[in-house]
Structure 1
Amino acid sequence: MDSRTVALIRTTFKAVAAEEGGSEKLARSFYAILFTDYPQVRDFFPAAMDAQRDRLVKAIAYALDRLEEPNKLLPFLAQLGRDHRKYGVQAEHYLAVATSLKTAVQIFAGTEMWTDEVDQAWDEGLKIIADTMIGAAEKETTPPVWTGTVIERREVLRNLTIVRLQLDQPMQYSVGQYVSVQIPSRPRMWRYLSPAVPADTDGEIEFHVRGVLGGWVSSAIVGQTAVGDQWLLGSPLGGLGVPRNLKRKMLMIGCGTGLAPLRAQLMAMAQRRVNPKVHLFVGGHNPCDLYDLETLNDLAVANRWLTVTPVTEHDENPWWYTEPDGPQPLRPGLEPRVTGQIGKVVASFGAWADRDVQIAGSPSMVQTTKFRLMAAGIPAKNIRHDPLF
Structure 2
Amino acid sequence: MNIGIVNDMPMAVEALRRTMVSGGHQVLWLAENGAVAVERCAQKKPDLILMDLIMPVMDGVEATRRIMQESPCQILVVTASVAGNSGKVFEAMGAGALDVVATPVLGTENGTSGQELLAKIERIGILSGIIKRTSPQRPGRTLQPDSPPREKGKGLLLVIGCSTGGPRALLRILSTFPRDFPAAIVVAQHMDEQFISGLVDWLNNQVTLKVKVLNKGDRPRPGVVLIPATSHHLIMNRNNTLGYSVEPTDNYYHPSVDVFFKSVARYWQGSCIGVILTGMGRDGADGLLALRRQGNYSIAQDRESSVVFGMPKAAIEVGAAQDVLPIEAIGAKIIDVLESQKGKYHD
TM value normalised by structure 2: 0.33
Rg: which structure is higher?
A: 1
Query: If each structure's helix is expressed as a fraction of its own residues, which one has the higher value?
Result: 1
TM value normalised by structure 1: 0.30
